Homo-oligomer: A and B are copies of this chain.
Amino acid sequence: MRMTSQRKKILDVLNQAKIPLTCDDIYLQIEDDKLNLSTVYRSLERFYVDKHVYKTIINQKQYYYIGHHHHFLVCLGCEKMIPVGCHIEGKEKAIGEPYGFQVTHHDMTLYGYCNLCQTH
């Protein structure tokens, strides 16, 4: 894979992120008139296929990318995202076993209300 200047910038943004970002988030953070949104889409998908980043889906609408395997608490009030550890890491295999199914990865998101939004 060629490490172009565009891909460097995209990886930079992603590696500094604590929470997952959409392609558009990353595109906007880079603010380079000469960077195209479709390049961001293509690069992130490439990174994902090559297993350099993780992908998850939040609020059932958009792809989010992040450098590390985490799950997230997503607030339905303010959309804040809080990273949490993975509670089924290591159990994946056992879940598939009764079916002869070989689990390779999983995606989970938890929804609810953060401390500030619970008064709703």
Q: Which residues of A contact B (CB under 8 A)?
A: 55, 57, 60, 63, 73, 75-76, 82, 84, 87-88, 91-92, 95-96, 99-115, 118
Contact = CB atoms under 8 A, between A and B. Distances in A.
Contacts of A84: 95, 99
Contacts of A102: 112-113, 118
Nearest to A93: B112
B115 A111 contact: no
Contacts of A112: 96, 101-105
Contact of A60 (B57, B96, B108, B115): B57
20 contacts: A57-B57, A57-B60, A73-B95, A82-B101, A84-B95, A87-B88, A87-B91, A87-B95, A96-B110, A96-B112, A100-B118, A102-B113, A102-B118, A104-B112, A105-B111, A106-B108, A106-B110, A107-B108, A107-B111, A108-B108
